[in-house]
């Protein structure tokens, strides 16, 4: 290979690359740029030779560019910088310029290669948006799967899952079983829509009484379970009685009708060091709820 060819071939290869390429000397003056660089920045390599960024591109952040260039020339470390440039054919483009140092015959030169990352950036943005949508949908689906659609409170499946986690902890817990009295009569007298409204009223009334960490769940039909994490026996009994009294004192409205409601409650308290499981607590709460029914309804039985 002739000397002329060995010198011209590397530049010809660089000139054929689609990526803009630049070469600067140790003073950050332009030595050479390829054709892609000329097209992107609408410059002529002959005119650009020997000039600084601040002279050739006053509208760009030349000081910042030169600062990075000097670090590369002094340290030999590779530097990557992201920049938005205006492509005459495509408009604004996101680019990343990778700069490194080479030493030729004792002289330091900076080589910069510009990569267009606009499509990658846009794909990443779309991916992030899609991921955000999927995460929101997953949260919504999880909420739907755990929610009773009629009343908006926790459903039976979520109740047992949450209760099992709660029982595995060492905290004490109060369990209150609530059953709406004479619910069939409400449906028969006022219709099933009125019955649905009565169930929603029970949940709304209970939520006004219980604490922020407590939960109410619809177990089935007109029966609800309230879990009171960390509540001692006195607190559990007190909350249960307040729920009973609030339901009895606040009839539900349906159309022009004011429908009086009462509820029977079975109350159980569980200390954290006790071994009884949640199903056993429900059994005890049910027994006490049935005792309230047998004793005349509209009462909370705790023992």
Question: What is the DSSP code string of 69-82?
Answer: HHHHHHH---EEEE
- Residue count of the chain, please give it: 303
Residues whose CB is less than 8 angstroms from the CB of residue 137 and which lie 6 or more positions away in sequence, other chains included: none
Distance CA 170, CA 149 (A): 32
Q: What is the pLDDT of residue 66?
A: 59
Q: What is the pLDDT of residues 44-70, one digit of tens each?
A: 999 999 999 888 886 665 544 556 888
pTM of the predicted structure, to 2 decimals? 0.64
Lowest mean pLDDT among 133-147, 253-267, 273-287: 273-287
What pLDDT sits at residue 1? Answer: 41
- What pLDDT score does 65 carry? 54
Check if 280 is active-site: no
The pLDDT tens digits of the residues spanning 226-267 come to 999 999 999 999 999 999 999 999 999 888 889 999 999 999
Give the model's confidence band at 170: pLDDT under 50 very low, under 70 low, under 90 confident, else very high: low
Q: What is the mean pLDDT of the chain?
A: 89
The pLDDT assigned to 57 comes to: 81
pLDDT value for 67 = 63
Q: What is the mean pLDDT of residues 141-169?
A: 90
pLDDT of residue 32: 93
Three-point CA angle 291, 296, 297, nearest 5°: 75
SS3 for 17?
coil
Q: pLDDT-derived band of residue 3, with 50, 70 and 90 as boundaries?
A: very low
Tell me which of 49, 119, 222, 241 is the catalytic residue.
222
Domains annotated on the chain, with CATH = 3-121 (3.30.450.20), 146-301 (3.30.70.270)
């Amino acid at each position: 290979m002739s000397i002329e060819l060995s010198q011209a071939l590397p530049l010809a290869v660089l000139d054929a690359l689609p990526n803009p390429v630049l070469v600067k000397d140790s003073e950050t003056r332009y030595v050479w740029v390829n054709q892609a660089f000329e097209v992107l920045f609408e410059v002529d390599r002959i005119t650009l030779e020997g000039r600084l960024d601040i002279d050739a591109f006053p509208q760009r952040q030349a000081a910042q560019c030169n600062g990075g260039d000097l670090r590369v020339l002094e340290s030999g470390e590779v530097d990557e910088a992201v920049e938005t440039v205006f492509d005459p054919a495509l408009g604004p483009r996101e680019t990343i310029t990778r700069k490194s140092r080479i030493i030729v015959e004792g002289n330091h030169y900076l080589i910069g290669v510009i990569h267009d990352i606009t499509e990658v950036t846009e794909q990443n943005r779309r991916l992030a948006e899609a991921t955000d949508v999927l995460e929101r949908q997953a949260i919504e689906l999880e909420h739907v799967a755990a929610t009773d659609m009629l009343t908006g409170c926790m459903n039976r499946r979520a109740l047992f899952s949450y209760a099992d986690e709660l029982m595995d902890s060492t905290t004490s817990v109060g369990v209150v079983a609530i059953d709406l009295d004479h619910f069939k009569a409400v449906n028969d007298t006022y219709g099933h829509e009125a019955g649905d409204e009565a169930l929603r009223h029970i949940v709304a009334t209970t939520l006004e009484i219980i604490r922020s960490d407590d939960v109410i769940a619809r177990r089935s039909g007109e029966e609800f379970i309230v879990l009171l994490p960390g509540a001692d026996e006195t607190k559990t009994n007190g909350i249960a009685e307040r729920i009973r009294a609030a339901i009895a004192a606040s009839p539900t409205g349906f159309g022009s009708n004011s429908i009086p409601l009462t509820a029977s409650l079975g109350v159980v308290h569980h200390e954290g060091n006790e071994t009884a499981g949640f199903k056993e607590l429900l059994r005890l709460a049910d027994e006490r709820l049935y005792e309230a029914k047998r004793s005349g309804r509209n009462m909370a039985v705790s023992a």
